[in-house]
Structure 1
Amino acid sequence: MAEADGVRWDGKYAGREAGAPRLPDVFAPYADELPTAGHALELACGFGEASVWLAERGLTVRGVDVSAVAIDQARELAARRGVSERCTFSVADLDDGLPPGPPAAVIVCHRFRDPALYSAIGDRLAAGGLLAISVLSEVGAEPGPFRARAGELRDAFAGLQSLAAGEGGGQAWLLARRPRR
C-alpha cells in the first residue's frame, strides 16, 4: 500500500480503542479447530483482537497492519491482557509481500484481500496449519475492486483441505487446513 493508505487507515483508527480479544465472528463457531501452540500470523490485524485471543490461547503471534495507530492500540491491548511476551505487532506494507517469519500453525486474515499474496499465505502455513480468511465478496453485493469474485477463495486455496466456507451477503470466507505431508 502506498504511504497514503497508512495515513488513511490511521485516520479510521484514531480515537477508537480495541475491543475484547476475540476471533472474527465468522470464525467463532470454529474456535475449537484453532491450535493452542505454535506460531500464528494475523494479516491486517487492526487493533489485534484476534492476535491477542490467539496469544491467550497459547500461541506466539505476529500481527501486522499498515496503520501505526492500530498497531499502537494492539500493543496496548496485549499489555492490558498480559500477553505482550507472546505478541509482536509491527507496521507492514503487505504490498511488499508477507513479512518474514516461521511457518505458521494458524494464519488469520479478516477483511483484507490481496490475491497476489494468496500463494505466499498458503506457503507460510506449516504442515497441518490452519488458514482463517475472510474477504469482501461480490456474492450478494455490488462488484468492486476490493471484492472477491465468486469462488475466489476456494480456487486460490484449492491445495488446502476445506473445513468450512461460505459466500453471501457481500462476504466470502474459508477455514482450511494445509495437509500434513
Structure 2
Amino acid sequence: MGDTSPDAARWDARHAVAGPGVPMPPGALRGREHLLPAGGRALDVACGRGAVAAWLAGRGFAVDAVDVSPVGLAAGAALAPDVTWIEHDLSTGLPVSGPYDVVVCQRYRDPALYPALAAVLAPGGLLVLTVLSSVGDSGGAFRAAPGELAAAFPDLEQLVHVEADGEATLVARRPG
C-alpha cells in the first residue's frame, strides 16, 4: 500500500534501527503454550517485526500478519517468508476476514477494533491481547482503563486476565 502516515513513518524509523528478530511467543502465552490449538489459521495484528508471527508459523499455523510499517514487515518477511505479510493502517479496521484459530495483538490498543478481533475468531479460537494499562501506571492516552479488556469480550471464555504494572493481558477462547 505504501502508507505514508505519521504512524508508518514513526514505526519505520524504529524498526530500521532494530536488530534481527527472533521468533518468540506472545508474552501472555509464555508458560501457557498448551492453550494454543493444534494448528490452523493465525492472525498477528500490529505484528511489528514479526517475532510472534514467525513463532506461530514455526508451530504449524498458516499466518497472516498485519502492520502499518513496511520496514517492520520486511524484517518479518526475512524471518518467516512463509507468513502472509499485509501492510495496512489498523485505524481503518482489519483488512482480513476469518475465521482464525488464533488472533494475537500485542501493544496495539484500539477499542474500536475489539469487535472485529472477536468477529474473526473461529469457534474454539484463542484470542491473545496485551495492551498498556493504567493499572499500576500513571496513565496516559494509550492505556486501557481497569477492566477494559474483560468488558470488551463478554462472549468469550476468559482463560487469563491480568492487570498490573502498566499492562493488561487477556487470553480468551470463543466457545466452540
The two structures share one fold, judged by TM-score above 0.5 = yes
1:60 Cα deviation after fit = 0.2
Is there any run of 5+ residues in structure 2 with no aligned partner, and where?
Answer: none
> 2:54 maps to which residue?
52
Indicate the SS of the match to 1:145: coil
1:2 Cα deviation after fit = 7.5
CA contact (8 A) 2:21 2:76 kept: no
Please give the alpha-carbon distance, in whole angstroms, between the structure 2 residues aligned to 1:137 and 1:102. 28
CA contact (8 A) 1:125 1:178 kept: yes
Task: Work out which of the residue numbers 102, 122, 138 in structure 1 matches 2:98.
Answer: 102
> 1:28 maps to which residue?
30
> 1:62 maps to which residue?
64
- Aligned-residue Cα RMSD (Å) equals 1.3
> 2:17 maps to which residue?
15
Q: TM-score, normalised by structure 1?
A: 0.92
Please give the alpha-carbon distance, in whole angstroms, between the structure 1 residues aligned to 2:168 and 2:27. 13
1:24 Cα deviation after fit = 2.3
Indicate the SS of the match to 1:134: strand
Structure whose residues are more often helix by fraction: 1
CA contact (8 A) 1:47 1:74 kept: yes
- Tell me the percent identity: 45
Please give the alpha-carbon distance, in whole angstroms, between the structure 2 residues aligned to 1:19 and 1:98. 24
CA contact (8 A) 1:18 1:49 kept: no
Q: TM-score, normalised by structure 2?
A: 0.95
Indicate the SS of the match to 1:29: coil
